[in-house]
A and B are shown apart, each in its own frame.
Chain A
Amino acid sequence: MASETSSGGPGQNVLQRWAERSIRNPERVYRAMFYVAAVFFLFTTLFPFYWLVVLAVTPNDLIVNMGLAPRGFNVEAFVTLFERLPLHRYMLNSFIIAMITTCIVLVLGSLAGYAFGRIEFKGRRPLMLAVLAVSYFPPAAFLLPLFRLFTGNVSLFGVSSPVVFNTPGALVTPMTALFMPLSIFILTTFYSQIPDGLEDAARVEGTTRLGALFRVIVPLSAPGVATAGIMTFISVYNEFFFSFMMTDGQVSNWAPIVFGILGYQGQYSQFYNLMAAASIVGVLPVVILVIVAQERIVSGLTSGALKE
């Protein structure tokens, strides 16, 4: 840097002064490094979204060999995409499946979370570990038996299993099992922190055991319940494996958003602007959820790993 600054000029003087001050006070260098890093991370995070917008607003015939800037501005793709495939219905299917799963996970997870968090009982730790361990197995290891179960190919005492393939049940059940453990973990942590006195007071006043759980413990743990709910909803909406394997991809057969997006790639493989526009539409709900509920998500992500 010294050789550069020797040539003089006002620009170099600024640099020189900055360098001199930095040597005297290294904090300035750290501050500068910090800003460079922050800008770098913001850029790498947001650039892919910028690219989606560029593709979505560029008319498709101008997309070939385009650079980094949009060519023209045309929001028609956001209308056309719904004419080609009913993306809104795929998204609605995903929403319904995610809502049902979230409700089941919260109710059953609350019961188990109460037991694990507030009752000392024999076999508590091994049971909890067994439940937690499930979520780490690959979905592929459950696929084969579940697929045969859901297509009515498994029989117990001569009664074959009901056919739930192509219904919400085929997606809700495996995802409930897959995402239940994290919620139980979050709820257990929150429920165990409620002081015993509050529950005892409610019980003395004549509340039943379950009443105390749902009228005292759950409301007092509202942030924890919200965290578990939001984490489950996002996880189901984002899931790929079971979404891909457990329906035949027809929108009338409860195919979720995975098939909506893949549909543009498969059937309209030359319409890159539609793929980009569909991706933007599909990602909006979760982006809004992140902006609104980031505190809860951060707490959910970290409690899953650190509250051991």
Chain B
Amino acid sequence: MILNYLSPVVSPVTYRIERLSPTQFAYLLVLPVLLIMSVVAFWPLLRTFEISLHSDQLTGATAVGEFVGLRNYVALFSGDRAAVMPQPFLNVEEPLSSSLIVTFLFAIVSVAIETVLGFGQAIVLDQDFRGRRWVRTAILIPWAVPIVIQGMIFFLMFSPGIGFAVEPLHQLGLFSLTPLNDTGSSLAIIVVADVWKTTPFMALLILAGLQSIDRQLYDVARMSGASRWQQFKTITFPLVLPSVLVAMLFRSIAALRVFGLIETVSSCSTVPSLSCMVVSTFNSQRFGTSAAIAFVTAGVIGIAVSIYIAKFARSERGAV
């Protein structure tokens, strides 16, 4: 009735929209996002996979050569493709020169350290004290630092000659004198840089978990004489564990695609991450190889994503 009254005053398009069923209206609203996502995300993903099934074509009009099936992937894992890449994809004998191992090493070590430190920060921020807001702001700042500036900071800390840290660490026998040209030292520096920037993210997620714990549980525990450690072990840890796991998953996904930090601090030939290899094969026009590495990276992350989605689906069903 209201619609009939409205129709003369509103435009025909608005009128049409008013007449749609809720489902049709919902799809209309989601349509712009789906269009953008299809062109910029879904299509490129499928196309990358398709390109990865073709051979490299260095000359000629077309970008890729003939269809070769999964041969690019086989060549990557068997080491046959190593010659055209700055560093091999997988080389068990020299783990620090193979991108798959370096990427995993980086992700596992940095996420582990971030989890421990993030837990520490979260516990500090969970306390009531004067100036807590300022401490929280200070701890949050590294999260907002652009990757290129994060890289620059650690480049300046570990550049030979100016970085204060190089000489003492060399004396301890931990670093070479030119750590930014050495895979082991560079990897360690990149882990430290990543920990510095992303621990706040971890801390805030864990803090949100900590603050959702019912404070009365602690009162009960104190009444019955539980020590701080017992309270942590039986109340805090099990209740906060789900948030910790989600945070670790998010961080692992991000760590597995590390690129900019390496490019700024060191170089892609010194620390060969998977994304680094995609870019360098892309730059040398080896599109088939590049796409195959990109898709392996996506596959590794896709496994992590599907774990999350399975969990998401389960908790959603549990909530309803």
Contact = CB atoms under 8 A, between A and B. Distances in A.
Interface of A: 26, 30, 34, 37-38, 41-42, 44-46, 48-49, 51-52, 55, 63-68, 108-109, 111-112, 114-116, 119-122, 124-125, 127, 129-131, 133-134, 136-149, 153, 173-174, 176-177, 180, 184, 204, 206, 208-210, 234, 237-241, 244-245, 257-258, 261-262, 265, 272, 275-276, 278-279, 282-283, 286-287, 289-291, 294, 297-298, 301-302, 304-306, 308
- SS class of chain A's interface: helix, strand, loop or mixed? helix
A306 B152 contact: no
Top 10 closest A-B pairs, CB basis?
Answer: A240-B260, A138-B257, A145-B47, A177-B40, A141-B298, A115-B29, A145-B44, A140-B278, A302-B208, A121-B26
A42 B139 contact: yes
B157 interface: yes
Given A140-B297, A290-B137, A306-B243, A146 B40 contact: yes
Contact of A37 (B32, B47, B120): B120
Contact of B155 (A265, A291, A298): A265
Interface stretch (B77-85, B90-98, B142-150, B181-189): B142-150
5 contacts: A45-B200, A108-B33, A131-B33, A149-B39, A240-B146
B279 to A, nearest CB: 7
Contacts of A237: 146
B185 to A, nearest CB: 18
B301 interface: yes
A139 B161 contact: no
Best-buried of B148, B228, B243, B259 by chain A (most CB within 10 Å): B148
A136 B228 contact: no
Given A66-B162, A141-B45, A241-B275, A298 B140 contact: yes
B162 A138 contact: no
Contacts, number: 303
Best-buried of B40, B287, B290 by chain A (most CB within 10 Å): B40
B124 A38 contact: yes
A258 B149 CA distance: 8
A142 B45 CA distance: 6
A140 B40 contact: no
Given A206-B6, A208-B6, 18 more contacts: A30-B228, A37-B124, A51-B156, A137-B302, A139-B275, A140-B259, A140-B274, A141-B48, A208-B14, A238-B145, A240-B260, A240-B261, A261-B152, A275-B156, A294-B137, A297-B144, A301-B204, A305-B243
Given A180-B36, A240-B259, A138 B301 contact: yes
A145 to B, nearest CB: 4
B191 interface: no
A148 B290 CA distance: 14
A65 B163 CA distance: 7
Interface of B: 2, 5-6, 10, 14, 17-18, 22-23, 25-27, 29-30, 32-34, 36-37, 39-45, 47-48, 51, 63, 117, 120-121, 123-124, 127, 129, 133, 135-149, 152-157, 159, 161-162, 164, 167, 196, 200-201, 204-205, 207-209, 227-228, 243, 246-247, 250, 253, 256-257, 259-261, 263-264, 274-275, 278-279, 282, 287, 290-291, 293-295, 297-298, 301-302, 304-305, 308-309, 311-313, 315-316
A184 B29 CA distance: 12
Given A208-B17, A238-B144, A306-B246, A111 B162 contact: no
Contacts of B247: 305
A94 to B, nearest CB: 9
Given A145-B48, A240-B147, A306 B205 contact: yes
Contact of A121 (B22, B144, B312): B22
Nearest to B45: A141
Contact of B157 (A51, A63, A265, A306): A51
B40 A121 contact: no
A112 B260 contact: no
A45 B124 CA distance: 14
A245 B279 contact: yes
Nearest to B293: A140
Given A141-B48, A275-B152, A210 B136 contact: no
B316 A136 contact: no
B301 A42 contact: no
B312 A129 contact: yes
B138 A46 contact: yes
